[in-house]
Amino acid sequence: MTLKILTIVGARPQFIKAAAVSRAIRETDGLSEVMVHTGQHFDPNMSDVFFEELDIPKPRHHLDINGGGHGDMTGRMLMAIEPILLEEKPDWVVVYGDTNSTLAGALAASKLHIPVAHVEAGLRSFNRRMPEEINRVVTDHLSALQLCPTTTAVTNLAAEGVTAGVHHVGDVMYDATLFVTDKAEKSSTILTNLGLASKTYALATIHRAENTGDRQQLLAVVQFLQDQSRKFPVVLPLHPRTRQAALAMGVDLGGLKVIDPVGYLDMAKLLHNALEVYTDSGGVQKEAYFHGVPCITLRDETEWTETITHGWNRLWKQSSQAVRRDIDEYGTGRAAYHVARLLSSGGPR
């Protein structure tokens, strides 16, 4: 009997994680996959290019849902996903991370009594003002399988009374990084196009609502990056949300090397060759570590506490940094195969 996996994605980090797991699903007997793309990230440079570069199966269902407030977007996704689940009748719904697409997929599946597997379960910033934190908590409590990247994530779930179906599988983004780095080094021309040499620049990303929703906060982040740019160029692939916020709020991005969003191969090349990384993205914090590049997180907390304790990361308002040492939490690059094995062996339907 073949178990049908219905995977729901909508944003850049989810495409990267899903690429690794989809490869493992294709190589696991007894599993098939249907991909649903909510459309949350709709810019071709943040969506289509990832499917092409990472060999992700073409979505069978593309919902084209983006824009609007959190409730509006999540509600429209919920309405659109439910009939797909009724049509496809999957044995598992797999969701990733902490976006509105994650929450909508978990809610739609759980109301139809379809078991949910949450990849990257158990992360906590302990800041309930972050919409991503709400999405994480609710999704974890709706899921039958919590697939955790670290032992800290397992501990976080246990503190909330969630122990059944919890597994430390490692980090599927590490799998993806190992898969793509050599390819990016050989094929990406982004450094040449920008007139940059390896280890002569820093890379920055800004996209979270806490940094883009308030003028004073966005101004402070940009001024931090501009201060850093006095030492070396700071490359900023500009997220559409950040572009709109800067224009609307009159925040000048002068002094930064602003470029359009880039695909995964170009991003991997930029990460691998950067001197430092400045970001408010959870995924990019980890990717910096995977590429051996120190990171400064443009937030007041992080879900990836081991990057702080092991000296690869610090919060931007802190000056001290721990002694740098390897992190053994993320696995050996086989996390996606652990996920596929658990889906194959644990399908309750």
Q: Which residues are catalytic?
A: 207
SS (H, E, C) the chain: CCEEEEEEECCHHHHHHHHHHHHHHHCCCCEEEEEEECCCCCCHHHCHHHHHHCCCCCCCEECCCCCCCHHHHHHHHHHHHHHHHHHHCCCEEEEECCCHHHHHHHHHHHHCCCCEEEECCCCCCCCCCCHHHHHHHHHHHHCCEEEECCHHHHHHHHHCCCCCCEEECCCHHHHHHHHHHHHHHHHCCHHHHHCCCCCCCEEEECCCHHHHCCHHHHHHHHHHHHHHCCCCCEEEECCHHHHHHHHHHCCCCCCCEEECCCCHHHHHHHHHCCCEEEECCHHHHHHHHHCCCCEEECCCCCCCHHHHHCCCEEECCCCCCCCCCCCCCCCCCCHHHHHHHHHHHHCCC
